[in-house]
A and B are shown apart, each in its own frame.
Chain A
Amino acid sequence: MKDHHEPTDPTDAGPADSGRRAFMGVAAGITAAVVAPGVVLHSVTAAPRSEAVTSDVRWGLLIDTAKCVDGCSACVDACDRENGLNLQNKPASASQEHWDDQKAVWIRKVQLQDNQTGRVTNLPLMCQHCEHPPCVDVCPTGASFKRADGIVMVDRHTCIGCRYCMMACPYKARSFIHKAVEDQLTRVPRGKGCVESCNLCVHRRDFGEDSTACVDACREAGHEAIVFGDLKDPESSIRKHLAEMASRQIREDLSLNTGVRYSGI
């Protein structure tokens, strides 16, 4: 029985076939010449994204409250711009007070006073990226999750908007998207009815950049109060700082081993 997929003898090809083959060859060459650089370029740019995140690193922040300046909101503004939080619009019929209670906030400035000494401290507060995050434990669908590199974030495809993670977060770090967002950034998709929080500028991580928007802004403002880095790398700047200065976690009593550490409080 003849195999229908048997290749035909090349000597059988007539002049018409050879002409067609030549044309095909030229077309393929031109196509390759035009498309290939794009393919190569694309694959090179996207390389970091194609690699699985590993637990060889654990990203974290160290905040030196002694350097955090009263009245400065550079980190907050930068976070808002980087993550499209500045694109949120107050509904015309909502009062400012109501809107302030409902708009998403990923990082905020907090000013504290020690009840005994009266000493005033300023600090930025965001998701603390716990090693054992309560938000991940309570999420019924597993939408709230921790990446291998320690970043805690929300899968917006499986978040059902139950807000149990917000109830469980000891840092009040999460925000619910109360209304539809018209303008948003593709790198930080935002959906009405889902929960979100600081993700340590995860898009930067995945493209191999070595800082976050808040860290850059703080440096540019001349304060350098925030250090970002790999908590597992003994040679990283954050580890060296942590070795030199006393630091603590907020709500240490919960033993969550947060990825964000503070000195001076």
Chain B
Amino acid sequence: MKRIIYREWRIPPARYWGLLGILASVVVIGALAFAYMEHEGHWVTGMSNSVVWGTPHVFAVFLIISASGALNIASIGTVFRKPLYKPLGRLSGLLSAALLMGGLLVLVLDLGRPERLVVAMTTYNFRSIFAWNIFLYSGFMAIVIAYLWSMADRHGEPYNRPIGILATFWRLALTTGTGAIFGFLVARQAYDAAILAPMFVVMSFAYGLAIFMLVMMFTFTEEGRPIGERILCRLKNLLGIFILGVFYFTLVYHLTKLYGAKNHDLVGWLLLDGGIYTFMFWVGWVLVGGLMPLGIIYHPVLSKDRTWIAAACGLVIVGGLASMYVIIIGSQAYPMQMFPGHTVLASGFFDGVQGEASRYSPTIPEVLLGLGGVAIALLITSVGVRVLQFLPESLADDVLPVDEEKIVEQGPAGAKA
């Protein structure tokens, strides 16, 4: 094992500025979309009094839980003492903070009164999970910055593990809190399930890792830094396990719902005749986000090909956005069950007349605002790796520390070697 050297990302300036220009353009377009929606009001969006959280929330929640998941690699290295992952801890922390920033910006800019953010930061109702989350998010940002310092500065080294442990627990609380925003809403049938909180934790593992792997592969390949088979194989297998975890929770979520007879209609609608939401569930969430990447990851040939691994990561991200769309929008579109045993024949407020779901079509500004959040996360990451030493020079097999398992197999002598 050699000493790990971290170095700034030194791709050619033209390429770097070109990349930055593209990302900045998307950010500016997102900002213009926000300005348009803020000026005109939410009537220019597809959101309504029935579907009150739209596409910006899909992006925001996806980015926020991915931020938590992106910190996985740092946690595994520090908290679980896996030296193999340690060299990637810095990138993991940076990406985590950047994704959180992107997600929070989208969330804040989608408020009806975004200029009252100061009210949200100074006036709290501590019964609200939303208010707790403000602390969880801001605390997470502070902890990740301290974590990065402990990884990068020699003086911070002694604090690295304690901060790492705190960061791990904090991010689990953060994702649980985000899941609980939905999981404890008794009003809506699809949400009234505490399992959403742990499901969001597992989803965060998968989506965060997929984004991390793509960013890692892109930054390393662009500059010609080597990535060894060992680390890639480990990350790929980890992604496979996380995808299986998402499947497990998805299955349990639906089985839990089916166990209550009152929810049969909901599950039937979602899985069989929910239109776009059924499509998003089977094609987006299950096929694109689960079965296809699993097929690649466990394929004897494709799993060796880096392009295919990157494709698997991309599919997980697309599937993740689809799953958020189903969870956030589908659950709102399904009519609220206010009168069990009755059919609504007419209503002046679209109370699911004849069981009909609420309408929602995302508008372009909503999508652009969401993409702006993604772009800002990538912009922060790009600038970060360019100006500071976040990326190790090499992830080649012979540079990385020995696997834990080998240390055990070879005994103390092997460990010394």
Whether the Cβ atoms of A140 and B131 lie closer than 8 Å is: yes
Q: Is the CB of B130 within 8 A of A138?
A: yes
* B contact face: mostly helix, strand, loop, or mixed: loop
B112 x A140 contact (CB < 8 A): no
Residues of B with C-beta under 8 A to A160: 111-114, 116-117, 119-120
| B320-362 Cβ-contact flags toward A at 8 Å (1 or 0) | 0000000000001000101101111111111100000011000
Contact A170 B338 (CB under 8 A): yes
Contact with A along B67-102 (1 / 0, CB 8 A): 000000000000000000000000000000000000
Q: Is the CB of A141 within 8 A of B124?
A: yes
Q: Mark B32-57, 1 if CB is under 8 A from A, else 0.
A: 00000000111101011110110000
> Would you call A141 and B125 a contact (CB within 8 A)?
yes
In the complex, chain B residues 5-60 whose Cβ is within 8 Å of any chain A Cβ? 40-43, 45, 47-50, 52-53
Report the Cα distance A32→B341, complex, angstroms.
68
CB atoms of A115 and B185 under 8 A apart = no
Kindly list chain A residues whose C-beta atoms are within 8 Å of the C-beta of B47: 102, 176, 178
Which chain A residues (76-122) contact chain B, with CB distance < 8 Å?
A: 76, 91, 94, 97-102, 104-105, 108-116, 120-121
From A76, A134, A192, B348 is in contact (CB under 8 Å) with A76
Determine the chain A residues whose CB is within 8 A of the CB of B341 once the complex forms. Answer: 114-116
Which residues of B have CB within 8 Å of A99? 43
Roughly how many angstroms separate A108 CA and B50 CA in the complex, as a whole number?
A: 14
- Of the candidates B45, B181, B339, B350, the one having the most CB atoms from chain A within 10 angstroms of its own CB is B339
- Contact digits for A1-25, partner B, Cβ 8 Å, 1 yes 0 no: 0000000000000000000000000
Q: Are B131 and A167 in contact (CB under 8 A)?
A: no
A138 touches B349 (CB 8 A): no
The answer, among A142, A177, A191, for a CB contact under 8 Å with B125, is: A142
Residues in B neighbouring A257, C-beta threshold 8 A: none
Which residue of A has the minimal Cβ distance to B182?
A: A167
Q: Is B3 an interface residue (CB 8 A)?
A: no
Q: Is the CB of B343 within 8 A of A134?
A: no
Which residues of B are found within 8 Å of A170, using beta-carbon distances? Answer: 186-187, 336, 338
B134 at the interface (CB under 8 A from A): yes
Q: Which chain B residues lie closer than 8 Å to A161 at the CB level?
A: 111-114, 116
- Say whether A250 contacts B338, CB under 8 Å: yes
Q: Chain B residues near A127 (CB, 8 Å)?
A: none
| Known contacts A102-B49, A108-B348; A167 and B113 CB within 8 A of each other | no
A180:B41 contact, CB within 8 angstroms? yes
Q: Is A162 an interface residue (CB 8 A)?
A: yes
Interchain Cβ contacts within 8 Å, total number: 184
The B104-149 residues at the A interface (CB cut-off 8 A) are: 111-114, 116-117, 119-120, 123-125, 127-131, 134
**Does A153 belong to the interface (CB within 8 Å)?**
no
Alpha-carbon distance A102/B50, docked complex (angstroms): 8
Chain B: CB-nearest residue to A119: B342
Whether the Cβ atoms of A101 and B49 lie closer than 8 Å is yes
Q: Which A residue's beta carbon lies closest to that of B262?
A: A253
- Contact partner of A158 among B45, B117, B119, B346, CB < 8 A? B119
Considering the complex, which residues of chain A in the window 173-227 have a beta carbon less than 8 Å from any beta carbon of chain B? 174-180, 191-195
C-alpha spacing A134/B87, complex, angstroms: 47
B345 contacts A120, C-beta separation under 8 Å: yes
Please give, as numbers and ranges, the residues of chain B lying within 8 Å of A140 by CB-CB distance.
120, 124-125, 128, 130-131, 134
Cα distance A201–B45 in the bound complex, in angstroms:
30
Q: Check: A265 CB closer than 8 A to any chain B CB.
A: yes
**What is the chain B residue whose CB lies nearest that of A123?**
B339
CB neighbours (8 Å) of A91 from chain B are: 43
Looking at the complex, which one of B112, B128, B350 makes contact with A176 (CB distance below 8 Å)? Answer: B112
Q: Does B225 contact A (CB under 8 A)?
A: no
Q: Does B188 contact A (CB under 8 A)?
A: yes
- Quick check: A168 and B185 within 8 Å, CB to CB? yes
Would A167 and B52 be within 8 Å (CB), given that A115-B343, A158-B123 are in contact?
yes
Do B343 and A113 touch (CB < 8 A)?
yes
A115 to B345, CA, bound (A): 11
- Our pick among B40, B111, B188, B349 for the contact of A167 (Cβ within 8 Å) is B188
A142–B123 touching, CB < 8 Å = yes
In the complex, A141 Cα to B130 Cα: how many Å?
9
Distance in angstroms from A102 CB to nearest chain B CB is 5
Contacts of B112 in A (CB 8 A): 159-163, 176-177, 192-195
Which chain B residues in 152-198 approach chain A with CB under 8 Å? 181, 185-188, 191
A105 and B339 form a contact (CB under 8 A): no
| CB atoms of A159 and B347 under 8 A apart | no
- Bound form: Cα–Cα A40–B353 in Å: 54
Query: Chain B residues with Cβ under 8 A from A141's Cβ?
Result: 119-120, 123-125, 131
CA distance A97 to B120 in the complex (A): 33
| CB < 8 Å neighbour of B129 from A138, A158, A176 | A138
Q: Is the CB of B347 within 8 A of A109?
A: yes
CA distance A83 to B128 in the complex (A): 29
- Contact between chains at B50 and A172 (CB < 8 Å): yes
A169: Cβ under 8 A from any B Cβ? yes
**A152 interface contact, C-beta 8 A:** no
How far, in whole Å, are A111 and B120 apart by their CA atoms in the complex? 39
A-B contacts, 14 listed (Cβ < 8 Å): A76-B348, A98-B43, A99-B43, A108-B351, A112-B339, A116-B341, A136-B125, A137-B125, A142-B124, A162-B130, A171-B187, A176-B112, A179-B42, A193-B112
Chain B contacts to A: CB under 8 angstroms: 40-43, 45, 47-50, 52-53, 111-114, 116-117, 119-120, 123-125, 127-131, 134, 181, 185-188, 191, 332, 336, 338-339, 341-351, 358-359
7 nearest A-B pairs in the assembled complex, by CB-CB distance: A161-B112, A193-B112, A108-B348, A101-B48, A179-B41, A140-B130, A178-B43
Given contacts A162-B111, A167-B187, A250-B338, 9 further A-B contacts (CB under 8 A): A111-B347, A137-B125, A138-B127, A158-B119, A161-B112, A161-B116, A168-B185, A174-B49, A265-B339
